[in-house]
Amino acid sequence: MFIQSAKLTVATTLALATFAATAVAQTTPTSVATDEAAIRSARMTQTQALARDDLDTVVKYWSPDITIRRALGHPIEGAANARKVLEPAANATPVDPATRIIYQREAVSVEVSPNWPLAYEEGRWSGHVGNVSSKPVIGGRYSAQWVKRDGKWVIRAEVFVALTCADAGCKAAALP
């Protein structure tokens, strides 16, 4: 009985080691570089969509269960709630384009795991009044966790931290 159990344990260990070696071998430097480029492209597309108020495109890059910590500390749980934050209130007057804040995000680094369908992104963000070429009124750093689901990279979590401000941007209150 002991010998059969030992043989089974050895066989199981060898099978798991072979599976692990195969799984790691399937991720190549080329695929990691391709995934990093895909994430950078997704971030750029999402940022451009934010500037156009194209919320359908913005949401495509979030997992449904996304967790976001906004720049001044406010939490958001779920893609539907995150979208609501970006939507104008139903009874609000149209936003004057000259006073609207347009957020820009720029990836500084992206690191893809060679072992799991996970990636980490760091970058800079800024809020501009009216258009992206105006002087930022608020800005800082962000980090994001990306996950690859069904062959597509989506954001599972983001943390934004406000570090700089100018003019009206300095009047916003941070969550203690």
**Residues 6 or more apart whose Cβ sits within 8 Å of residue 78:** 64, 65, 66
Q: What is the mean pLDDT of residues 88-112?
A: 80
CATH number of the domain that 162 lies in? 3.10.450.50
Residue 14 lies in a domain: yes
What are the tens digits of pLDDT across the range 48-95? 999 998 999 999 999 999 999 999 999 999 999 999 998 876 655 556
The total number of structural domains in the chain stands at 1
Q: How far is the C-alpha of 9 from the C-alpha of 67, rounded, in Å?
A: 41
What are the tens digits of pLDDT across the range 8-50? 444 444 444 444 443 444 557 779 999 999 999 999 999 999 9
Q: Do 110 and 36 contact (CB within 8 A), yes or no? A: yes
Residue 176 lies in a domain: no
Residue 91 lies in a domain: yes
Residue 24 lies in a domain: yes
Task: Output the pTM of the full model.
Answer: 0.79
pLDDT of 2 above 60: no
Sign of CA dihedral 157, 125, 98, 74: positive
- Reference 113, options 38, 37, 31; nearest CA is 31
Residue 145 lies in a domain: yes
Burial label for 110, CB within 10 Å (0-12, 13-18, 19+), is buried
Is residue 168 left, alpha or beta, with left meaning phi > 0 and alpha meaning psi from -120 to 50? Answer: alpha
Domain that holds residue 117: 2-171
Q: Amino acid letter at 112?
A: V
Could you tell me the CA-to-CA distances from 13 to 9, 21, 22, 71, 116 in Å, in that order? 6, 12, 14, 47, 21
Residue 28 lies in a domain: yes
- Reference 50, options 115, 142, 114, 117; nearest CA is 142
